[in-house]
Amino acid sequence: MRNLTVNVFHPFELLPVAFDEQRFDWDPTLDEVRGASLQDASAVVGYASERARGWRHWLLEREADLLARDPEVESPRGRITYRNLLASQRSHVAFHYRQLLAFLDGRGHDLTGALPLADLGDLVLPAEIF
């Protein structure tokens, strides 16, 4: 769970830089190193919460810029528009969320209160990549 959390939430701190500097420098092979200091569940939750708060704050602060501009961003997979980068990260997060729900459900955990995948709107998660 630690590595998955880092893999999902580390990009949230890279997305503002991607918008401002047109580069998305994510190297998931370093996620294990990034998460090494997260020794318990509280630290993992704190890591995710801190990045989610920072992302929400940045979105609210930069809303007008985000609506007005769609810069091209250099990423490890080539050039991509910022909006397409966001769409890609949205799919990435939703894919792992689906994995997490399946994992918990398969072990008999109560998923009451979990955001249903149907609430993700127009996001399509192909069954063949799950």
Please give the chain's pLDDT, 130 residues, in tens. 889 899 999 999 999 999 999 999 999 999 999 999 999 989 998 999 999 999 999 999 999 999 999 999 999 989 999 999 999 998 888 888 788 778 888 889 888 877 776 666 666 666 665 5
pLDDT of residue 101: 78
Asked whether the beta carbons of 65 and 19 are under 8 A apart, the reply is yes
Range(s) of the domain holding residue 49: 2-129
Q: What is the pLDDT of residue 91?
A: 86
- Give the integer Cα–Cα distance in Å for 5 and 115: 17
Confidence (pLDDT) at 129: 59
pLDDT of residue 51: 93
Q: What's the pLDDT at 124?
A: 66
pLDDT value at position 93?
87
pLDDT of residue 74: 97
Note whether 94 and 125 are within 8 A (CB): yes
Q: How far apart are CA 82 and CA 72, in angstroms?
A: 6
Count of domains in the chain? 1
Hey, is 12 helix, strand or coil?
A: helix
99's CB contacts (< 8 A; 6+ apart) are: 4, 130
Say if residues 54 and 17 touch (Cβ distance below 8 Å): no
User: At what angle are helices 41-61 and 2-21 packed, to 10 degrees?
Assistant: 20
